[in-house]
Amino acid sequence: MIIVDTELRRREEAGRPIRVGLVGAGSIARANAIQIVNSTPGMVLSAISNRTVERAIGIWRDLGAEDVAEAADLETLERHIGNGAAVVTDDHALLAQSGQIDVILELTGAVEFGALAALAAIEGGKHFVTMNAEMDATVGPILRKKAEEAGVIYTVCEGDQPGVQMNLYRWVRTLGLTPLVCGNIKGMIDFYRTPETQAAFAKQWNQSPYMVTSFADGTKVSFEQAIVANATGMCVAKRGMAGPEHPGHIDDLLDFYDVDALRALGGVVDYALGSEPSPGVYVFGAHDDPRVHEFLHYAKMGKGPLYSFYIPYHLFHLEAPISVARAALFRDTVLATDGPIRVEVVATAKRDLKAGEVLDGIGGFLSYGVCENAWTSAAEGLLPMGLSEGCTLTRDVPKDAAIGLADVRMPGERLIDRLRAEQDAAFPTPAR
Residues 9 and 145 in one domain: yes
- How far is it, in rounded angstroms, from Cα 408 to Cα 385? 12
Between residues 204 and 371, the one the model is more confident about:
371
Which CATH number is 392's domain given?
3.90.1210.10
Query: Taking a C-beta distance cutoff of 8 angstroms, is the pair 229, 223 a contact?
Result: no
Residues 197 and 266 in one domain: yes
**Do 9 and 72 reside in the same domain of the chain?**
yes
Element (H, E) at 106: strand 103-106
Q: What is the extent of the structural domain holding 414? A: 343-426
Residue 413's pLDDT is 86
152 and 255, same domain (yes or no): no
Q: Is residue 432 part of a domain?
A: no
Strand 127-130 to 103-106 pairing? parallel
Same domain, yes or no, for 384 and 368?
yes
Task: Examine residue 338 and state whether it is found in any structural domain, yes or no.
Answer: no
- Note whether residue 383 is domain-resident: yes
The answer as to whether 27 is a domain residue is yes
> Quick check: 137 pLDDT over 70?
yes
Q: Are 179 and 63 part of one and the same domain?
A: no
Among 352, 82, 363, CA closest to 209: 363
Confirm if 154 and 309 have CB atoms less than 8 A apart: no
Q: What is residue 1's predicted lDDT score, i.e. its pLDDT?
A: 59
| Spatial separation of the C-alpha atoms in residues 366 and 188, rounded to whole Å | 20
In a domain, 121, yes or no: yes
Separation CA 387–CA 419 (nearest Å):
11
CA 158 from centre of chain: 9
Among candidate residues 278, 295, 330, the one where a domain is terminated = 330
pLDDT tens, position by position, 384-414: 999 999 999 999 999 999 999 999 999 988 9
pLDDT per position as a tens digit, 2-51: 899 999 999 999 999 999 999 999 999 999 999 999 999 999 999 999 99
Whether residues 58 and 77 fall in one domain:
yes
Count how many domains the chain has.
3
Calculate the dihedral angle through the C-alpha atoms of 67, 71, 76, 78, rounding to the nearest 10 degrees.
80
Determine the 3-state secondary structure of 245 from DSSP: strand
Do the beta carbons of residue 328 and residue 160 sit within 8 Å? no
Based on the domain organization, do 218 and 302 belong to the same domain?
yes
Q: Can you give the C-alpha Rg of the chain in angstroms? A: 22
As a whole number of angstroms, the distance between CA 249 and CA 278 comes to 9
CA 389 to mean position of chain CA atoms: 18
- pLDDT (tens digit per residue) in 78-100: 999 999 999 999 999 999 999 99
Tell me whether strands 268-273 and 178-186 are parallel, antiparallel or unpaired: parallel
If asked whether residues 137 and 169 sit together in one domain, one would say no
> What mean pLDDT do residues 143-155 have?
98
Structural domain contains residue 337: no
Q: Checking phi first, is residue 409 left (phi over 0); if not, alpha (psi -120 to 50) or beta?
A: beta
Segment (H or E) for 14: helix 2-14
Residue 219's nearest CA partner among 189, 239, 198 is 189
Share of the chain above pLDDT 70, in %: 100
Contact 143, 419 (CB under 8 A): yes
- 237-256, pLDDT tens digit by residue? 999 999 999 999 999 999 99
C-alpha of 328 from chain center: 19
Q: How many residues are present in the chain?
A: 432
Same domain, 181 and 283: yes
Residue type (1 letter), 388: S
336 falls within a domain: no
User: If you average pLDDT over every residue of the chain, what do you get?
Assistant: 97
Q: Which residues contact 275 (CB under 8 A, 6 or more apart)?
A: 185, 246, 247, 248, 249, 250, 253
Contact in structure between 155 and 128 (CB atoms under 8 Å):
yes
Instruction: Of 220, 215, 224, 221, give the one whose Cα is nearest residue 197.
Output: 215
CATH code at position 26: 3.40.50.720
Q: What are phi and psi of 366, to 5 degrees?
A: -110, -25
Q: What is the pLDDT of residue 240?
A: 98
Let me know whether 305 and 377 are in one domain. Answer: no
Residue 431 has what pLDDT? 84
Query: pTM of the prediction?
Result: 0.97
Does residue 150 share a domain with residue 167?
A: no
